[in-house]
Amino acid sequence: MRGDPNAPDDTDPRADLAHGSIPRLVRAAAARYGPAEAVAEGSTRLTYTQLGERVEKAAAACIAAGTRPGDRVAIWAPNTTTWITAALGAVTAGAVLVPVNTRFKGAETAHVLRRTRARLLFVTGTFLGTSYVASLRRAAGEGTGRGPLPGLPHLEQAVVLSDDAPEAFLTWKNFLSAGETVPTATVRARADAVRPDAPSDIVFTSGTTGLPKGAVITHAQTLRAYAVWSELAGLTADDRYLIVNPFFHTFGYKAGIIACLLRGATMIPQPVFSVPTTLANITAERVTVLPGPPTLHQQLLDHPERTRYDLGTLRLVVTGAAVVPLRLVERLRADLGVATVLTAYGLSESSGIVTMCRRDDPPETVAATSGRAIPGTEIRVTDATGHDVPAGTPGEVLVRGYHVMPGYYEDPQATAAVLTPDGWLHTGDVGTLDENGNLRITDRLKDMFIVGGFNAYPAEIEQLLTRHPDVTEAAVIGIPDPRLGEVGKAYAVRRPHSTLTPAELITWARREMANYKVPREIEFVRTLPRNASGKVVKGKLRR
């Protein structure tokens, strides 16, 4: 009889993570999970063996295109099987992956490509009614370069991930064909040469406050962090994982693709979140795992036709990026029968993970906190002078651990602004630690406002507002006030068919929170503006 199926062996993708790399992970996953389904996207079905073969073909094409170890290869496309093979193929060829936000416009993407001097670009064709190629051409179509986009002189090839491509661009099929002359032995030698401490990717911040900065993360950091994430979440080879979180974000790429490769789970990529599509996918694909921001799960629960779908296979939800109402946790467990609901906290600069709840935590802990530090991680909460504050007192969250970035890409000044010489990362987030070490993020330093001398933390006020039975979401900002300096204004989303008025919500709030926290203005909106990682873009609300 075989021993523990989770025990490491020579083909275990989790074995010797400190000395591993993503290329070795792909090969180990193919060897260990071979005939199991790796990717399910509509009629496309790939086993782990087939996925490994496709990744090697993509790597061969990258080598044929002149990709050298350490070159930056960018990908600007939504969640698809081709994204998985193109991205992993580039990394297998020794490149540093640069995932580009699909919500970026042409000029923003051109900035990232120039900033990283990317030599190869994978780009989608038309997505959500927008031609990404046309958008990029408008931003970088003129210049002195000789490649497909003269305004990007370092870009040598651009590959459209479809069957059609404009002049000077390659189709995905033609790109792969060029790699057929590269021997498998050459591909594997290139993959084996990738060092654990080499950069695996450069993840750019959302760019909601100025130009985005690129956090450099290594192979060893990625593998170790998401082995921990997978263990704490309880991900298994029997799971079917609907990946709605965008692949350009660590929540989609690393907590999605990398975690599945580590555990042998089935990846089900979904390019765009829509409630009907998600409900249909959960039913048709027997989905067991659905991470995402709270708003995603809230919309699923509130959809009027939810009961028409069989959602009984869902067993694991991991959420974060925003306030998580206790009522949401309770409804996921009671209404959908989700056995495990977890919250977590991370940022691009920390490989996307810092804290996580444990599977035996009570609902109150899951809703009110982001859990405890993951193994190998230290957390401090400090005041403006850099001194630690007592438990329960808000201050800036500082993080130190193996997963903290070496720095921003070629930006020592920005790096020095957030990383101390002894390795502490200034997150810019305001939070509290309770006596058990659970972290509660109360806000961003830049979002805090002062009401008559009292510090007001919007995230705390938002969580209180969502306790009202007719409020599903809320976002609070500070606005000028002639007497108090600043006061709060709340943008709130009402439950369908609610007749709640601003005056009624303010009256209710006065009974639930200190007077200085009570918003002086309430504006009801249908939706809150969010970036692709689910965070509310408060700059839009302020404008």
177-193: pLDDT as tens digits: 999 999 999 999 999 99
The whole domain housing 65 covers 44-214
pLDDT of residue 99: 97
* The two three-digit tokens of residue 353, written as one number: 């993970």
| Total domains, the chain | 3
Q: Are residues 439 and 460 in the same domain?
A: no
What mean pLDDT value characterizes the chain? Answer: 91
Alpha-carbon distance 270 to 483, whole Å?
A: 50
| Listed residues 413, 444, 475: the one ending a domain | 444
Asked whether residue 241 is domain-assigned, the answer is: no
pLDDT band at 263 (very low <50, low <70, confident <90, very high): very high
On whether the CB atoms of residues 242 and 286 are closer than 8 A, the answer is no
* The two three-digit tokens of residue 408, written as one number: 């921003």
Share of the chain above pLDDT 70, in %: 94
Eight-state DSSP code of residue 238: T
Higher pLDDT pick, 235 / 531: 235
CA–CA distances in Å: residue 459 to residues 69, 368, 473? 43, 11, 11
Q: What is the mean pLDDT of residues 350-379?
A: 94
Q: Are residues 423 and 452 in the same domain?
A: no
Rounded to two decimals, what is the model's pTM?
0.85
* The two three-digit tokens of residue 355, written as one number: 């804290």
- Range with lowest mean pLDDT among 31-35, 108-112, 503-507: 108-112
| Listed residues 429, 444, 459: the one ending a domain | 444
pLDDT of residue 48: 98
Eight-state DSSP code of residue 7: S
pLDDT of residue 2: 30
Q: Which of 159, 145, 460, 483 is nearest to 323 (CA)?
A: 460
Q: Are residues 464 and 524 in the same domain?
A: yes
Tokens 């509290």 belong to: 432
317: domain CATH number is: 3.40.50.12780
Q: What is the mean pLDDT of residues 76-86?
A: 98
Residues near 304 by beta carbon (within 8 Å), at least 6 away in sequence:
496
Asked whether residue 266 is domain-assigned, the answer is: no
169: domain CATH number is: 3.40.50.980
In a 3-state reduction of DSSP, which class is residue 75? Answer: strand
Asked whether residue 225 is domain-assigned, the answer is: no
Q: Which of 466, 491, 483 is nearest to 542 (CA)?
A: 491
CB burial of 207-237 (b: ≥16 within 10 Å; e: otherwise) equals beeeebbbbbbbbbbbbbbbbbbbbbbbbbe
* The two three-digit tokens of residue 208, written as one number: 């909601």
Tokens 């809703």 belong to: 367
pLDDT of residue 540: 85
Alpha-carbon distance 298 to 115, whole Å?
A: 38
Asked whether residue 224 is domain-assigned, the answer is: no
150-178: pLDDT as tens digits: 999 999 999 999 988 898 899 999 999 99
Alpha-carbon distance 20 to 526, whole Å?
A: 47
Residue 24 is which amino acid?
R
Q: Are residues 432 and 461 in the same domain?
A: no
Q: In this model, does residue 146 exceed pLDDT 90?
A: no
